[in-house]
Each structure stands twice: as C-alpha cells, then as structure tokens.
Amino acid sequence: HNAAAVVIGAINNSDSNHGINMTSGGAGYAVDMVLTMTSTVGAGAVITVTAVDAGVITNYTVSTVGSAYLVGTSLTQSGLSAPVGGTGFTCDVTNIDIPNTQRRGCCLYSGASQTVQVELESGNTVSFVGVNAGSFLPVLTKRLLAGTNIIALY
C-alpha cells in the first residue's frame, strides 16, 4: 500500500509511455541530459534522456511531472543540462491520471474542507460537496479535477 500527494494536471509518469508521446526526438542529445519543457498550458515538466540513437532521443523518463497540464498539451524543450547541444525534442501530454491508476483507481483523503471533483474508473465525473477536512473518499478515482491537499491511497 502507498499514499501520495495528488497534483491536478500532473503528467502520469507511471503510464507505459510515461504520460507523454514524443513527437520529435530532436538531434544532438546524450543519455542523462535533463530537458526543461514549456507549453502554453501547465508548467514544470522535466524530461531525462535515457537512450539515444545517433543523438536522437529514443527513450526518456518524466523526472518532474509538473502541474496544470491537459491531455493533448504540446511540450517543447526550453532548457537543457550540460553537455550543451541537444535541440528539437517535442512531445504531447497523453495522460494526467493519478499515477498508478492504470488498472484500478485509488481512494482519496482530503486534508481541507472543500468540494472535491474527480473522474472515476468508469470515466464519469462526480463532485463531492461539503467534504470535511480529514475525510476519506472510498471511491475508485482515476483523476482529480478540483480540490487541494488531496492524498491518493493505494
């Protein structure tokens, strides 16, 4: 079992493709380079290069998942760790579900009094109005749509 803080719009790096789909592997990269990504929606994603072929990225991990992304958001490399040289990596966000909910949703704990809106395993959206601080929501949730101070319970 596990518990983890939930951030709305964070990239689901536990998904099989790390929550992103590479649209361009760019050129001039090396393994272990760290790429800062930017977009018009969301912020904070960082990609670590794990494999290259002749300088083109062939595999990666999302080392920092960021927040406030939407599925379909395009990310473009805006920064790069040493060694300098890589350019042109782009990708699209494909999954912002709560990590590790690919097979089964998770229950939630709310640390604040609020309305909590979630997407359930079924794909239906529901709002829990009047949730008290310290409450557990024993529903199988895939995605948090509204709420703060939320912890996923697996």
Region 52-71 average pLDDT: 96
pTM of the model: 0.90
Taking the CA atoms of 53, 56, 58 and 64 in sequence, report the sign of the dihedral they define: positive
Contacts of residue 103, Cβ cutoff 8 Å, sequence gap at least 6? none
pLDDT reported for residue 90: 97
Identify the bridge partners of residue 48 per DSSP, sorted by sequence position.
Answer: 34, 61
pLDDT at position 49, please?
95
Determine the Cα–Cα distance for residues 56 and 89; give it in Å rounded to an integer: 9
Q: What does the pLDDT look like over 100-153, one tens digit per residue? A: 998 999 999 999 999 999 999 999 999 999 999 999 999 999 999 999 999 999
Res 84 pLDDT > 90 = no
